[in-house]
Amino acid sequence: MQFKSVDISKTASAASIIFDALKKAIIEGNLEEGAPLRQDEIAKMFNTSRIPVREAISRLEEHGLVKSQRYKGAVVSGLSAGEAGEIFDYRAILEPHIIRISVPKMTPKALAEARSFCDAFAVSDDPMEWGDLNRKFHATLYNASGLTFHLEAVESALDRVDRYLRAQLVLSNGMARANDEHLRIQDACERGDADAAAELTHQHILGAKNSLLKHLSKL
Whether 150 and 213 share a structural domain: yes
**E strand or H helix that includes residue 151:** helix 148-171
Give the pLDDT score at 11: 55
Dihedral pair phi/psi, residue 173, rounded to 5°: 55, 45
Give the pLDDT score at 4: 45
Q: Choose among 53, 22, 21, 30: nearest CA to 40.
A: 53
Whether 110 and 213 share a structural domain: yes
Whether 43 and 113 share a structural domain: no
Structurally, the chain folds into a number of domains equal to 2
Q: Does residue 212 fall inside a structural domain?
A: yes
Whether 87 and 173 share a structural domain: yes
Dihedral (CA of 48, 50, 53, 59) sign: negative
Write down the H helix ranges in 6-142. Answer: 9-27, 39-45, 50-62, 81-102, 108-123, 127-142
Whether 65 and 99 share a structural domain: no
Regions of the chain with pLDDT less than 70? 1-12, 171-173, 218-219
Query: In whole numbers, what is the pLDDT of the chain averaged over residues?
Result: 87
Which residues are within 8 A (CB) of 150 and not within 5 positions of it... i.e. 6 or more apart? Answer: 94, 97, 98
Which residues are within 8 A (CB) of 143 and not within 5 positions of it... i.e. 6 or more apart? Answer: 102, 110, 151
- Cα 95 to Cα 54, 148, 191: the distances in Å are 33, 13, 19
Give the pLDDT score at 1: 45
Give the pLDDT score at 3: 33
CA distance between the termini of the chain: 58
Torsion of CA 149, 84, 163, 178, to 10 degrees: -80
Say what the pTM is: 0.79
The CATH number covering residue 145 comes to: 1.20.120.530
Whether 104 and 72 share a structural domain: no
Dihedral pair phi/psi, residue 106, rounded to 5°: -70, 135
Which residues form the domain of 134? 81-217
**Are 131 and 159 spatial neighbours (Cβ–Cβ below 8 Å)?**
no
3-state secondary structure of 3: coil
- Nearest-angstrom CA–CA distance, 150 and 187: 23
- Nearest-angstrom CA–CA distance, 215 and 35: 21
Whether 141 and 178 share a structural domain: yes
Whether 151 and 172 share a structural domain: yes
